[in-house]
Chains A and B, each alone.
Chain A
Amino acid sequence: MNSLSNTSTQTPRKWLNMVNLLKAPSIILLLVWMIVPLSMTLYYSFVEYNLLYPGPKLFIGLENYNYFSTDSAFFPALFNTLVLVGSVLIITVGLGLALALLVNQPFFGRGIVRVLLISPFFIMPTVNALIWKNMMMDPNYGIFSVISDFFNVVPINWLEDMPLASVIMMVSWQWTPFALLIFMTSLQSQDTEQKEAAQLDGAGFWSIFRFLTLPHLARPIAIVVMIQTIFHLSLFAEIFVTTGGGPGFASTNLAWLIYRQAFLAYDVGVASAGGVFAIILANIVAFFLIRAVGKNLTE
């Protein structure tokens, strides 16, 4: 008999078997990684603690929370966070789908086209932000302004006038390839006979897409939504490099607001309260997301 299944079924101390020993490290590590910083953040959020004014850490109840949530940037930041995640999801899933369908057709040089299309995913977020900020969006020398000049239109000052849209554009450019990669792979596993049969029966492009391809892609779409939400809820690098959250709070998301509070105002207490807000928001989103797509993921 096999020793693995032996230990898993017949050891008297049920929990101390090989299988659980193998499973344990990842679970314990993640628990520690979650609980230790989380409890410290919770503790700091209830005390007065500013790095500029050393002194005893006094318990001040909900004062930090009050301060953070009445900051005039709080609601804009909350709103921006949701707009950012939502818009990027819509753009990347839509564009990713369209590109995957396109690349799924036979044509010359498909391999190279695929390589070109997925390349933005390999670019560092900081580099991505620098390229777009300088060479694409600069109001004087950027490519967009050159195009505007060509059509005799007044160039848009992207980062000043549409900071949030600019950030959304950069992030979408980077993550569309990710959606494309996943959709492309699952399109390859689609039943071609079924499609051909539908074509013979006179089904057009749209009805094939709507009734065969889209249902086939339900799971991949759920996965793309899930993973991207995870990454974009705490988007930081692009804002750090380009707009710095401005002008005003126009491109400040929750992550940036907390960062500003902690590392520019040195107020650990208030920043920790902000951290708790961010964690609560993440949990709300996670709750709905796992309800919506989680089932799709585990079946």
Chain B
Amino acid sequence: MTLNISQRKIIKHWATGLFAWLVALTLFFPILWMIMTSFKTELQAISQPPLLFWEATLDNYMLIQERSDYLKYALNSLYTSVGGTVLALLVAVPSAYAMAFFPGKHTKDILLWMLSTKMLPAVGVLIPIYMITQMGGLLDSIYPLIVIFALMNLPIIMWMLYTYFKEIPKEILEAARMDGATTRDELRHVVMPLSWGGIASAGLLSLILCWNEAFWSIQLTASDAGTLAALIASYSSPEGLFWAKVSAASTMACAPIIVFGWFCQKQLVQGLTFGAVK
């Protein structure tokens, strides 16, 4: 049987689609399974063969909230992520702006150096940071975490903003100047509107990285300033057969950032190219 071109195209369309859906569902499966398990009882969670249909229960969620005050950890995560991101942006936006529009001889070297500081492993400086925090009486407080998160993400944010600002054509600025725009006008009406995309996506990536950061949160916090990442890590020891409860806690820890990420996907991608798209 021979097929004409349009028939072939349709078959190819459906085959690609089926395959893509299959791959996507496979890769998404662990997340789906986690969410499903969180609505089971502990016995259902480990039943063999795995249960695909069951009567959903909210008990795990209630229990987690009762036992470990989810809201407190969630707020700590929110404060540290937003705080760290805002602080980093406050420092990075003017710097990256200056570097992109008024590059010096060493601007590129400086940027590469900044990225290379990210290569210093956190464990290498864990003890000094721990001791400084301890000396300042700031163990188990969210403030050192905010500062660390900001510094931790600063190089990547700088890089994203720099590459984004650099793409803004300088001719637009010149044109605005010709039309008699002052520096303030220029910043407000030309540079800012064109920069929002880059700032938004750098901020989003930083938020995601802060929210999920585990190393410093585990080391520097306990019950007062603990973030969700630290809370989840504390569930790792009594592994046993508490999958349903662990799943409920995990789902609650990830849901905010996943939903947030889904909605902001487009904005996130805008600046995530690191100047790779030419």
Residues of A within 8 A of B (CB): 2-4, 8, 18-20, 22-27, 29-30, 33-34, 36-38, 40-41, 44, 99, 102-103, 105-110, 112-127, 129-136, 140-141, 143, 146, 173, 176, 181-182, 184-186, 189, 219-220, 223, 226-227, 229-230, 233-234, 236-237, 240-242, 254-255, 258-259, 262-263, 268, 271-272, 274-276, 278-279, 282-283, 285-286, 290, 294, 297-298
Contact = CB atoms under 8 A, between A and B. Distances in A.
B16 A105 contact: yes
Contacts of B102: 4, 8, 19
A234 B122 contact: yes
A116 B28 contact: yes
B269 A121 contact: no
A131 B119 contact: no
A286 to B, nearest CB: 5
Interface string B175-195: 001000011001000000000
A278 B123 CA distance: 8
Contact of B24 (A117, A242, A274): A117
Interface stretch (B59-67, B136-144, B153-161): B153-161
Secondary structure of the B side of the interface?
A: helix
A31 to B, nearest CB: 9
A125 B257 CA distance: 13
B188 to A, nearest CB: 14
A22 B276 contact: no
B19 A146 contact: no
Q: Which 4 A-B residue pairs are closest in the complex by CB-CB distance?
A: A107-B17, A234-B121, A37-B125, A40-B128
Nearest to A190: B277
A37 B120 CA distance: 11
Between B114, B235, B277, the greatest number of chain A beta carbons within 10 A of the residue's beta carbon is seen for B277
A234 B92 CA distance: 24
Given A130-B250, A182-B276, A227-B156, A255 B121 contact: yes
A230 B119 contact: yes
A140 B50 CA distance: 12
A67 B158 CA distance: 39
B6 interface: no
A146 B50 contact: yes
18 contacts: A25-B91, A41-B125, A41-B127, A114-B265, A115-B265, A118-B261, A127-B250, A134-B243, A135-B30, A140-B46, A141-B46, A143-B50, A220-B277, A240-B233, A255-B122, A255-B123, A258-B123, A263-B219
B214 A275 contact: no
A290 B229 CA distance: 32
Contacts of A125: 212, 214, 229
Contacts of A286: 116, 119
Interface of B: 13-14, 16-17, 19-21, 23-25, 27-31, 33-34, 37, 46, 48-50, 91-92, 94-99, 102, 104, 108, 110-112, 114-129, 131-132, 151, 154-156, 158, 177, 182-183, 186, 208, 211-212, 214-215, 218-219, 228-229, 232-233, 235-236, 239, 243, 246-247, 250, 253-254, 257-258, 260-262, 265, 268-269, 272-278
Interface of A is mostly: helix
Nearest to A102: B20
Given A122-B258, A237-B215, A182 B272 contact: yes
A229 B104 CA distance: 28
Given A29-B151, A122-B208, A230-B118, A173 B27 contact: yes
Nearest to A106: B13
B240 to A, nearest CB: 10
Nearest to A180: B27
Contacts of B25: 116
Given A185-B272, A237-B214, A30 B46 contact: no
Contacts of B250: 124, 127, 130-131
A286 B236 CA distance: 33
A109 B21 CA distance: 8
Contact of B253 (A44, A124, A146, A236): A124
A236 B208 contact: no
B272 A26 contact: no
Contacts of A254: 121, 123
Nearest to B148: A33
Given A124-B229, A134-B243, 9 more contacts: A102-B20, A108-B13, A117-B28, A119-B261, A131-B247, A135-B247, A173-B30, A220-B273, A240-B214
A113 to B, nearest CB: 4
Nearest to A26: B95
A96 to B, nearest CB: 12
A99 B34 CA distance: 23
Given A23-B95, A298-B108, A131 B33 contact: yes
Nearest to A262: B127
Contacts of A240: 214, 218, 233, 236
A132 B132 CA distance: 35
Contacts of B20: 102-103, 105, 107, 110, 113
A182 B273 contact: yes
Given A126-B233, A298-B108, A141 B48 contact: yes
Contacts of A107: 13-14, 16-17, 20
Contacts of B182: 2
